[in-house]
Amino acid sequence: MTTRQPIVAAITGAGSGIGRAVALELAGKGVRLALSDVDEASLDTTRVRAEARGAETRTRVVDVADRASVAAWAQDTVGHFGVVNQLYNIAGVAGGGRRLVDVTYEDIERVLDINLWGVIHGTKEFLPHLIASCKGTLVNVSSLNGFLAQPSLAPYCASKFAVRTRFYNEKLFRTTAEQAARTIVDGVAAGQARILVGSDAKQVDAIVRLAPARAIRRAVSFERLMTQRRG
């Protein structure tokens, strides 16, 4: 009888939020974890909590915007575990919600370097190993603003990562990191090619697909409402 080997999952942004929640969700399922984050202290907290759930872990401080850093992490992960079955590109930054005319090139570059190039770096460096595993899974986490653009979030929408103000969190995004992690992990297990987290994401996705022009008008109206509430 052939003994089934535990799955090995690599996670970026594992030090907090959805990244940490996904790590803990997988830890409870017996998955071996390669965890990375730019914040060493937060990463270590995730490691301790994952190991408390019985998971084997390996951590590394990684700046996903730095291709060499991601490449070194991928090699270290394969060297330690021998295989990588899953990659979760979750690391991201929010930044501030400002009009494009007020955003500096440095602001734009920082967001794109982390939220876009971070995903590209992770995908490129781990993809050969995912393919070699014969059952590889790649998960790239986006946001509602990956579906629907808002006037003051141009760089962030471009990088598919939303800026969350207090109004966003309290009125719209009711899904917790733990709920999101459970949906993501269950979706991966079910072989879903596209996973929508929360009813808000499903509603926005449906509106954009069925009535794109209407969706743009609603985005503008929503942006005005947010500006009034912030004021």
The kind and range of the H/E element at 102 are none
DSSP per residue over 140-208, as a string?
E---GGGTS--GGGHHHHHTT-----HHIIIII----HHHHHHHHHHHHHTT-SS---SHHHHHHHHHH
Q: Which of 88, 105, 156, 168 is flagged as catalytic?
A: 156
Does the annotation count 156 as an active-site position? yes
Hey, which residues are catalytic here?
Answer: 156
